[in-house]
A and B are shown apart, each in its own frame.
Chain A
């Protein structure tokens, strides 16, 4: 499945005629109590080399044993991403690096646990997921030296607390077309992982990390051009910036008659640019082979069904539940992201107008206070507003009191003396104010848009003053416009 880019996003940031082709590799640490193959604790932080066990230190003679919970969480992720969950094996990826206690990483190569899925962005496009496989994290080196930079380090210190933490690597197809989509993808993926309890999704603690594969091509072309892999993209903000920088770099090269070379580049957040990694004399040869210390994972259909039955509603399902009941897509996405979609849905089910519900949920409710709000009272409030018994401004005030006191909206409105102003009553009031300010009204009628805007504010202000702020601003504007039309006809 391929995302259809809309014209206004294609050109965001690139010279006309070019489009970006973006695929993301997202690594997420799984929310297990222990590591992938070792019974050492999986926890962030801690004094160096305290979350260790002979197995994750790779001591001679130790053997890995798969954490069953990690498999279960990975299957949850696969199902949430609409993947095929299949028999898989662990393979060794061989390369020397001091962060890796065994000097190979246990990963999955030819046979991954989850393949061929997709994820729907809140804005609509469906992004293909090539695979979501399990692997173990590396430890961390701290580079000690004058500048703290890797090339002039005096030496490095290695901490294996993170070594062996279970990771899922989620590889998208190159279906993303803009930096905004890429950010939206990461945000949606994070939301899915958190919703299903598979990961805490904390980018700031490194439990969610993003590598971006970026290339560009002329709009309308279908070929995939040379891509660069951008590493070290550690915040949602830098995802967009790094991709945009890299895509522009490619376009500049092509337009100068050159071409990018396939390489791994690193995002330098401070400098706002990507840099080529150390050029390697020859391509890496990881010599993957099935890990003989581990046996295949072959989840039964029954186990997969059991896990599927425990999945909570996913963000896309929750958005669609609101949209199916008339909520606008953007508002539904906000309601879900604020975790207030349950309240919104209950209010709509109780008969409240979907758009008004979403407006309040998206704009007027503090998430941490909203749980005290009764859906039935909320629906009553929307009904009163829809019936014209409360203006939008009044409804907002009543809602705030409802959240604070838990009382029904009718009681609060009565106590505050809110009552719907009859529309003929309001028209009389507006006409009276115009008649008392005929100079201004004349200038209003004769003025350009700018002048008219200022004077409109003046008249609305007078009406509000007269009604102690209880008039419906929209209704006042409508009356002003109607009178304008008559007076200038």
Chain B
């Protein structure tokens, strides 16, 4: 049975428009469950980033209802939103590292925001930088890091506080295939610990790297459900593949 306590996020007939333009998201309804791994796909302009903005509470919808961790976040006073945001990890498409902070301080930022003492910061941040292969660049400013390095710092920052839900917008767009795989393994490891992971990507090869994943596809602001991700219970089904190892046609080429 559906249970608000077992749902991480529920969207119900959500619509979003910017100003007087047409809706970029229309009638979007789905539920994300704890410990699930979702890919959000769709062509450019389909509304992936807008949907992610709603997920990481950067935007309120124009209509519909969103609940998060069992609480209606649409009517929630804005003073209570930070507590919800601290349960989320976000990898922004453009990384959004703080330019005047070192890699170490950028990764430490969520912990500092949560009030972790300075004495308790060093080990987890160092371990995380080590994990993403940047321990030697811990003092580097973002401007001196390559695109891939910046992306890894952004990912380390998103996962350092062990979020209940990780939202990543094209998280492997700037890294080589080996590092992309390594980062996906990090997401999977986090997912096994109970974190719900939502990765927006239009890298179709990525989808096959996480066979347990569920796929939500956006097309012109509307959601489709190629893997049954939106059903309850979610069909934890391996992505359908054809004989030559390629996934079925989800409306886009793999």
Decide if A and B are genuine partners: no
Binding site for A on B (CB under 8 A): none
Binding site for B on A (CB under 8 A): none
